[in-house]
Structures are given as structure tokens and as C-alpha cells.
């Protein structure tokens, strides 16, 4: 259940040094912080996990997410056939015993292709968030903490990026870079960091005025230490929430791009691409687009349920 949190955590954690978030599963070891804040912080995470466990929808979502990750990792062992294996004597076949979900236009096993499709979706969903966090969090943190002219320039830039219709911009970038998995990472990373940057900035702005930050500064902590050790750990909650919602958003973007044909390059299978190709034959061969559609729907719903749960668990005020 915690796997998706972990995965997104590592992306956040990479920014802030290891062990920042390990406390999610248990007490939070924090050698440098003062006793009071350490106790409060560890109980926040423990409370969060407890609240998350009680939310049945979120747990169900989390279980499906873990399953999907496992399917993605072990696709090579799970898929009955390679995703490129064609069988031209059995084209567009409805589900049978040999091909549980049927075959596609080239006689390839739909089940195998869907299993490999999970790999693309999970990679994009989790991987793109790493880029988004690496770009967005430092920009937002700097903007909020330094203030002044830096803040002005950065916020203007962020505002301009925000005004662009996002999907349109992603398509534009994709047609510039060409289709392919790496380029999807780049396109989503380039457009997705804006939201997280805004969120981080707002948090940092609020936290840097608090007394404990003044205290740290008075004790002689430098710029990097104050920001990294004292401000950012307290700004993490909304960032984590934003990341959990960014995952389904990235998965959606990849599916949408592949649906149009500017996403993943064939023959690598992607659910969005399978729906895009299959929907042209929906009248004759319904199975071609229905199964990948179900996969996308289930994945998106699981992530949203899980994300809702994480938000409610970490920030009960927001509910």
C-alpha cells in the first residue's frame, strides 16, 4: 500500500537528502532537530498512516497501485507472449482460451500487450514526477525564500507557463521533440513543474516567518541549512499531495498523447495508443479498445482514490 508513497517519496527525498521521509512507516529518526518538533513530526506521519489505513477506498486504490507496479516490474515473466509476436492466421480475434483478451490487428496477444502497457504507464506516472519535483520544488522554494526580485521574475515566469493550455503545450513540445518515452518525460516535466512550484512557494512563504525559523537563523544556521533542514521538511505535506495527484495526471497525459499518436512509438505498447488504434474498429472488434480502456480507467481511479486518501490523511483540515 505504501509503495506509491515510497516511490514518490524518493523523488522528494532526493531533493532534501535521505531519511527525510522514512518516518512514514514508523518513528521518524531526526538527530539534528529539537526534541519537540521531532515528536510532533513523527506523530504527524504516524497519524497519517493510521488515517490512511482506515480509509477503505484509499487502501483499495493503494493495493491496485501496488499490483500495477508489480505487473510493470515483472512484465517479462507475466506476459504469456512477447508483445511483438504476431500470428497472422488469427487477426482481430475475440477472447479465446489461447488468447484470453483476444488478438489485435497484427495477431498480437492483447493480454501481453496490456501487461507491457502497464510498464509504460507506471514509468511515466512515477518517473515524470521525479522531473517535476526536481524542477518545481527548488524553483518554488527559492522564489518563496529569497523573495524580492528573484521571486518577481520566477513568479512572472510561472504565471506565463500557467496561462498556456497545458495539453496543447505538451502536444506542441512532443511534435517538436518527436515521439518516444524519454521525450514524454521531458514534455511532462517541462509543463508539469509549474503547479508544484506555486505550491512550494506558498508554503515556504508561510513557514519562513515562523519563530522556529528565526530561532534556527539566530543559532547561526546558514541559508542552505535553514531552507533544507527547517523550512522544507515542514512544507512537505502539500508537495506530497501534489505529487500523488500528479501521477494520474502524468498517466493521463501519456495515454492522451499516445492516443493521438505523438506519444509512445510502436511497437512498444501503451494503453492510450491501443485505445486510439482500437477505437477505429470499435464496431467490428470491440475488444481492441475496451480492455485497454478498462485498464486506464481502473488505474486512474485507483490513483485518485489513493491520492484523496493521502490528502485527507496528511491534511485533515483540507477535507
Partner 1 sequence: MFHYVLSRLLWLLPTLLAMALVTFLVMHATPGSPLDPVSEGANPLSPEAQKNLAKYYGLDRPLYEQFAIFVSKAVRGDFGYSFVYKTRTVQEIIAETFPISLLLGSMALVLAIVGGLTLGILAAVYQNRTWDYVSVSLATVGVAVPNFVLAVFLIILFSFVVPLFPTGGWDSPRNWVLPTVALALAPMGIIARFTRASMLEVIRADYTLTARAKGLGEGPVIFKHALKNAFIPVVTLLGPMFAAVGTGSFFVEAIFRVPGMGRFFVLSMTGRDYPMIMAVVLTYGAFLAVMNLVVDLLYGVFDPRIRY
Of 86-94, 130-138, 146-154, 160-168: span binding partner 1 (CB under 8 A) = 160-168
Angle between helices 287-314 and 271-278 (to 10 degrees): 140
Considering only residues 45, 99, 193, 259, which one is a binding residue for partner 1 as defined by CB under 8 A?
Answer: 259
Could you give the 3-state DSSP secondary structure of residue 109? strand
| Residue ranges in 185-244 that form contacts with partner 1 under rule CB under 8 A | none
* Interface with partner 1, residue 283, by CB under 8 A: yes
**Grid cell at residue 157:** 515566469
Considering only residues 71, 252, 264, 277, which one is a binding residue for partner 1 as defined by CB under 8 A?
Answer: 252
In the bound state with partner 1, the residue whose beta carbon lies nearer, of 185 and 252, is: 252
Q: Which residues of 120-147 are buried (b: 16+ CB within 10 A; e: fewer)?
A: bbbbbbbbbbbbbbbbbbbbbbbbbbee
The alpha-helical segments, DSSP class H, found in the chain are 3-16, 35-54, 56-73, 75-78, 110-146, 148-163, 166-177, 181-207, 211-218, 223-225, 232-260, 271-278, 287-314
* Interface with partner 1, residue 92, by CB under 8 A: no
Q: How far is the CB of 106 from partner 1 (least distance, A)?
A: 19
Q: Are 77 and 71 in contact (CB under 8 A)?
A: no
Considering only residues 163, 218, 220, 317, which one is a binding residue for partner 1 as defined by CB under 8 A?
Answer: 163
Of 20-28, 80-88, 107-115, 287-295: span binding partner 1 (CB under 8 A) = 287-295
Best CA proximity match to 123, nearest among 59, 75, 53, 172: 75
* Interface with partner 1, residue 94, by CB under 8 A: no
Count the residues of the shown chain that bind partner 1, applying the rule CB under 8 A: 37
* Interface with partner 1, residue 306, by CB under 8 A: no
Number of Cβ within a 10 Å radius of residue 280 = 12
* Interface with partner 1, residue 70, by CB under 8 A: no
Report how far Cα 23 is from the mean position of its chain's Cα atoms.
21
| Interatomic CA distance for residues 150 and 275, integer angstroms | 45
* Interface with partner 1, residue 256, by CB under 8 A: yes
* Interface with partner 1, residue 304, by CB under 8 A: yes
Of 5-13, 27-35, 156-164, 220-228: span binding partner 1 (CB under 8 A) = 156-164
Q: What are the CA-CA distances from residue 191 to residues 92, 143, 173 (Å)? A: 38, 18, 9
| Residue ranges in 4-43 that form contacts with partner 1 under rule CB under 8 A | none
Considering only residues 175, 182, 210, 215, which one is a binding residue for partner 1 as defined by CB under 8 A?
Answer: 175
| Interatomic CA distance for residues 12 and 137, integer angstroms | 9
Number of Cβ within a 10 Å radius of residue 95 = 14
Of 4-12, 103-111, 224-232, 303-311: span binding partner 1 (CB under 8 A) = 303-311
In the bound state with partner 1, the residue whose beta carbon lies nearer, of 75 and 300, is: 300
| Interatomic CA distance for residues 268 and 116, integer angstroms | 8
Of 12-20, 64-72, 101-109, 170-178: span binding partner 1 (CB under 8 A) = 170-178
* Interface with partner 1, residue 250, by CB under 8 A: no
Considering only residues 73, 94, 98, 160, which one is a binding residue for partner 1 as defined by CB under 8 A?
Answer: 160
Neighbouring C-alpha atoms within 13 Å toward the C-beta of 307: 19
Interface with partner 1 by CB under 8 A: which residues? Answer: 160, 163-168, 171-173, 175-176, 178, 248, 252, 255-256, 259-262, 275-276, 279, 282-283, 286, 289-290, 293, 296-297, 300-301, 303-305
Amino acid at each position: 500500500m505504501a509503495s506509491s508513497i515510497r516511490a514518490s517519496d524518493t523523488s522528494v527525498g532526493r531533493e532534501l537528502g535521505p531519511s527525510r521521509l522514512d518516518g512514514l512507516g514508523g518513528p521518524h529518526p531526526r538527530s539534528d532537530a529539537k526534541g519537540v518538533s521531532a515528536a510532533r513530526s513523527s506523530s504527524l506521519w504516524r497519524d497519517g498512516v493510521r488515517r490512511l489505513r482506515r480509509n477503505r477506498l484509499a487502501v483499495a486504490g493503494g493495493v491496485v497501485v501496488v499490483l500495477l507496479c508489480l505487473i510493470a516490474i515483472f512484465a517479462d515473466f507475466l506476459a504469456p507472449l512477447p508483445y511483438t509476436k504476431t500470428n497472422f492466421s488469427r487477426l482481430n480475434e475475440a477472447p479465446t482460451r489461447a488468447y484470453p483478451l483476444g488478438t489485435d490487428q497484427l495477431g498480437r496477444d492483447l493480454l501481453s500487450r496490456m501487461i507491457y502497457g502497464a510498464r509504460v504507464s507506471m514509468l511515466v506516472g512515477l518517473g515524470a514526477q521525479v522531473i517535476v519535483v526536481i524542477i518545481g520544488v527548488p524553483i518554488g522554494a527559492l522564489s518563496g525564500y529569497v523573495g524580492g526580485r528573484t521571486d518577481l521574475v520566477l513568479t512572472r515566469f510561472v504565471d506565463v507557463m500557467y496561462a498556456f493550455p497545458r495539453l496543447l503545450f505538451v502536444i506542441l513540445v512532443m511534435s517538436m521533440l518527436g515521439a518516444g518515452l524519454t521525450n514524454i518525460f521531458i514534455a511532462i516535466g517541462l509543463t508539469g513543474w509549474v503547479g508544484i512550484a506555486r505550491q512550494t512557494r506558498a508554503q515556504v512563504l508561510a513557514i519562513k516567518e515562523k519563530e522556529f525559523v528565526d530561532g534556527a537563523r539566530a543559532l547561526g544556521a546558514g541559508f542552505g541549512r535553514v531552507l533544507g533542514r527547517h523550512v522544507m521538511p515542514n512544507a512537505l505535506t502539500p508537495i506530497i499531495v501534489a505529487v500523488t495527484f500528479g501521477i494520474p495526471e502524468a498517466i493521463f497525459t501519456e495515454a492522451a498523447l499516445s492516443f493521438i499518436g505523438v506519444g509512445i512509438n510502436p511497437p512498444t505498447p501503451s494503453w492510450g495508443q491501443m485505445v486510439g488504434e482500437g477505437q477505429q474498429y470499435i464496431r467490428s472488434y470491440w475488444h481492441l479498445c475496451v480492455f485497454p480502456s478498462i485498464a486506464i480507467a481502473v488505474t486512474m481511479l485507483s490513483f485518485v482514490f489513493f491520492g484523496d486518501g493521502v490528502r485527507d490523511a496528511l491534511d485533515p483540515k483540507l477535507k
